[in-house]
């Protein structure tokens, strides 16, 4: 019997496995009819103890387009967690009903607890300020489709780098590729955690910190914007003081490369002006579409389902 595979952190996947997932995601776009019934009679549980739009709905759309079905809840208040049930008990129970689980939780490490008790594959759909590996797969697919490579890129990460789990996961993923450089753009209070600085140093990845977005822009191949997350702050006054630290508009983009790729995990508040949406460099809504395709490929991978086509998961 094969060992059960879960996805808790992006590093649970090798770079070769990521490349295979990207191949399958691209094949899904090229041959959607081949995949429409491939998960027939399979069920996905979406256990979202924390609000979500894109992640939850893209998981649900992914499973439905594969011919499977979906059940679950969209907030802790609509589950037995409101009665005090533990994550462990919820996972053990739901594992009796479904074939695979996607779980989001506000507490760091909750998916690890769930994975220790699960009888079916579990996917971390975001745990507090920790990791968000399927968003990282989404980001990687977007980068691959827009740039055609993962190496020799200068990536600007802007906004909330302290609590931004999408940023943390993307750094972990990209440090495995050659000649990647990070420019970390944030207020001093929202700088990247030290353990990620140590990770980049150990991987011999170049990185620098700045508080000035406009100065950093000309050198960037990719700009990854993030919102300042109100839900991660203990002090509302700090949030109000920092929330408008960076606002990307067309005037700032005059100094950026013509081939710049502007990304954002969404939702945005006002850190990207809506006037940027029509700029050909804006890729964040395309990024959301990539999320559905890569989650389709991931579901097949974790369920051990081969595509039977030119690419196998």
Q: Which of 55, 90, 136, 307 is catalytic?
A: 55
Cα-based angle 41, 42, 48 (whole degrees, multiple of 5):
140
Active site (annotated) includes residue 5: no
CA atoms within 13 A on the CB side of 49: 23
Active site (annotated) includes residue 54: yes
Question: Which among 70, 69, 72, 62 is positioned nearest to 40, based on CA atoms?
Answer: 69
Residues constituting the chain? 313
Active site (annotated) includes residue 165: no
Q: What is the H or E stretch that residue 24 is in?
A: helix 15-30
Active site (annotated) includes residue 83: yes
Question: Which among 206, 231, 195 is positioned nearest to 156, based on CA atoms?
Answer: 206
Q: Which of 56, 104, 105, 293 is catalytic?
A: 104
Instruction: Determine whether 199 is exposed, middle or buried from the number of CB atoms within 10 Å of its CB (0-12, 13-18, 19+).
Output: middle
Please enumerate in sequence order all residues whose Cβ is within 8 A of that of 287, keeping only pairs 6 or more positions apart, or say none. Answer: 138, 139, 142, 263, 264, 265, 266
List the strands of the sheet with 122-127, edge to edge.
69-73, 43-48, 100-105, 122-127
If you search the block for the tokens 């759309």, which residue do you land on? Answer: 61
Paired with 123 in beta bridges are 7, 102
Q: Which of 31, 34, 43, 54 is catalytic?
A: 54
Active site (annotated) includes residue 42: no
Give Cα 298 distance to the centre of its chain: 13
Q: Which of 105, 130, 132, 243 is catalytic?
A: 132
Contact between 225 and 158 under an 8 Å Cβ cutoff? The reply is yes
Q: Which residues are catalytic?
A: 54-55, 83, 104, 132
């Amino acid at each position: 019997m094969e060992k059960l595979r879960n996805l808790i952190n992006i590093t649970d996947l090798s770079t070769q496995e990521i490349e295979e997932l990207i191949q399958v995601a691209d094949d899904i776009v090229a041959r959607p009819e081949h995949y429409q019934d491939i998960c027939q009679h399979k069920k996905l549980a979406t256990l979202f103890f924390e609000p979500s739009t894109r992640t939850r709905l893209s998981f649900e759309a992914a499973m439905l387009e594969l011919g499977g079905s979906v059940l679950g809840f969209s907030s802790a208040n609509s589950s037995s967690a409101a009665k005090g049930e533990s994550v462990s008990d919820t996972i053990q129970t739901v594992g009796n009903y479904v074939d695979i689980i996607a779980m989001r939780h506000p507490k760091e490490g909750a998916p690890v607890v769930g994975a220790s008790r699960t009888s079916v594959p579990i996917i971390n759909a975001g745990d507090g300020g920790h990791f968000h590996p399927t968003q990282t797969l989404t980001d990687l697919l977007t980068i691959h489709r827009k740039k055609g490579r993962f190496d020799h890129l200068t990536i600007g990460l802007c906004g909330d780098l302290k609590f931004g789990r999408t940023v943390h996961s993307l750094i972990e993923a990209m440090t495995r590729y050659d000649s990647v450089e990070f420019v970390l753009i944030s207020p001093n209070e929202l700088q990247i955690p030290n353990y990620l600085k140590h990770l980049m140093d150990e991987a011999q990845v170049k990185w620098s910190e700045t508080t000035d977005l406009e100065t950093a822009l000309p050198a960037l191949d990719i700009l990854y914007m993030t919102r300042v997350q109100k839900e991660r702050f203990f002090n509302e006054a700090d949030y109000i003081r920092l929330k408008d630290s960076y606002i990307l508009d067309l005037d700032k983009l005059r100094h950026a490369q013509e081939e710049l790729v502007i990304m954002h995990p969404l939702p945005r508040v006002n850190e990207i002006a809506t006037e940027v949406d029509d700029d050909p460099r804006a890729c964040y809504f395309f990024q959301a579409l990539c999320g559905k395709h890569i989650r389709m490929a991931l579901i097949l991978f974790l369920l051990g389902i081969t595509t039977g086509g030119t690419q196998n998961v």
